[in-house]
């Protein structure tokens, strides 16, 4: 494997799942990319990737008794290998989050880039493990000071486990917002790098309703361009 990225944020709803699939599709132009829904408590990547009816999911790999093979939970979609997670609360409670380490190791042996769609809050083992397992984090933020403050805590946590910062994706930027000032502040704190400023876009919402990643639903949308720019700036290790 070349590199594993955790797509993280302080709070929910910033666009981590949207970003994970968009960055994944952009990187898939050059790499074998595997995307994992590691948000095992509030999994929803399956809805974004048309995998609502997936039979075997990450939950089956994390629950001891289920005895599923990792390959059974990998779905080839949109040029990506996608490992969705189920939405059952019972499965989440039965899951041993520590098993994610083995799942990631097995997937890593067979891919170039791993993207871990990560939970929002810190605090529990299932919430922090994706960040701990990754080489670098991509922090998805709204272009506001509170969001930046949340992201800094995630970064602090990541750094304490030896995970570096790849940079920040500012998401849902409205036309009247000037992200320069906040980007400058983020630049000072987030490894010097703003990866992209992704506009608020109807196409993003429509893509989710269609169960398709943005880059499959509306590849020419300005938000898709911004995600491609972010992927290029990641400068994946060779
Ligand atoms: P998270 O995984 O961080 O909780 P999601 O990727 O699920 O966030 O996004 C939350 C909601 O916001 C979704 O309904 C998604 O369609 C919408 N959304 C995300 N990014 C944008 C954007 N750039 N423009 C418009 N809607 C967006
Ligand atoms: Mg999500």
Distance CA 150, CA 22 (A): 23
Note whether 58 and 37 are within 8 A (CB). yes
pLDDT at 185: 83
The average pLDDT across 53-71 equals 92
Nearest CA to ligand 1 atom 4: 13
pLDDT tens-digit profile of 126-176?
778 999 999 999 999 999 989 988 988 899 889 999 999 999 999 999 988
What is the share, in percent, of the chain residues with pLDDT greater than 70?
A: 98
The average pLDDT across 49-59 equals 96
Q: Half-sphere exposure (CA, 13 Å, Cβ side) for 135? A: 16
Distance 73 CA to ligand 2 centre (A): 18
What is the band of 30 on the pLDDT scale with cuts at 50, 70, 90? very high
Distance CA 19, CA 201 (A): 13
Distance 43 CA to ligand 2 centre (A): 6
pLDDT at 1: 65
Distance 129 CA to ligand 1 centre (A): 23
Task: Say whether 80 sits in a helix, a strand or coil.
Answer: strand
| CA-wise closest residue to 200 among 170, 180, 235 | 170
| CA-wise closest residue to 85 among 76, 75, 77 | 75
Find where tokens 């790499």 sit. Answer: 31
Q: Report which of residues 179 and 208 the model is more confident about.
A: 208
* Average pLDDT score, the chain: 93
Distance of CA 97 to the CA centre of its chain: 17
> What domains can be seen in the chain, in order of their start residue?
3-233 (3.40.50.300)
Task: Say whether 12 sits in a helix, a strand or coil.
Answer: coil
Ligand lying nearest the CA atom of residue 22 = 1
Residue 177 pLDDT greater than 70, yes or no = yes
What residues sit around ligand 2, an ion, with C-beta below 5 angstroms? 16-17
Ligand lying nearest the CA atom of residue 41 = 2
pLDDT at 114: 98
Write the ipTM: 0.99
Residue 188 pLDDT greater than 90, yes or no = no
pLDDT at 32: 97
Distance CA 115, CA 103 (A): 13
pLDDT tens-digit profile of 82-100?
999 999 999 999 999 999 9
| CA-wise closest residue to 4 among 151, 155, 163 | 163
Residue 192 pLDDT greater than 70, yes or no = no
- Three-state secondary structure along 169-214? EEEEECCCCCCHHHHHHHHHHCCCCEEEEEECCHHHHHHHHHCCCH
Is 118's C-beta closer than 6 angstroms to any atom of ligand 1?
A: no
């Amino acid at each position: 494997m070349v590199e594993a990225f955790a797509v993280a944020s302080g709070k929910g709803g910033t666009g981590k799942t949207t970003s994970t699939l968009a960055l994944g599709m952009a990187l898939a132009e050059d790499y074998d990319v595997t995307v994992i829904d590691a948000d095992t408590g509030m999994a929803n990547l399956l809805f974004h990737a048309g995998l609502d009816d997936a039979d075997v999911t990450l939950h089956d790999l994390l629950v001891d008794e289920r005895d599923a093979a990792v390959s059974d939970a990998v779905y080839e979609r949109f040029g990506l290998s996608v490992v969705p997670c189920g939405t059952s609360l019972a499965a989440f409670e039965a899951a041993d989050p520590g098993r994610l380490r083995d799942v990631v190791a097995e997937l890593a042996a067979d891919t170039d880039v791993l993207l871990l769609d990560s939970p929002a809050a810190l605090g529990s083992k299932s919430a922090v493990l994706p960040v701990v397992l990754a080489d670098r984090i991509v922090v998805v933020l709204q272009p506001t000071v509170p969001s930046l403050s949340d992201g800094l805590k995630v970064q602090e946590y990541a750094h304490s486990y030896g995970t570096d910062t790849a940079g920040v994706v500012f998401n849902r930027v409205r036309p009247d917002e000037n992200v320069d000032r906040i980007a400058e502040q983020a630049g000072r704190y987030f490894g010097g790098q703003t990866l992209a400023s992704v506009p608020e876009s109807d196409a993003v919402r429509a893509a989710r309703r269609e169960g398709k990643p943005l880059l499959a639903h509306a590849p020419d949308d300005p938000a898709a361009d911004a995600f491609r720019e972010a992927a290029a700036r990641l400068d994946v290790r060779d």
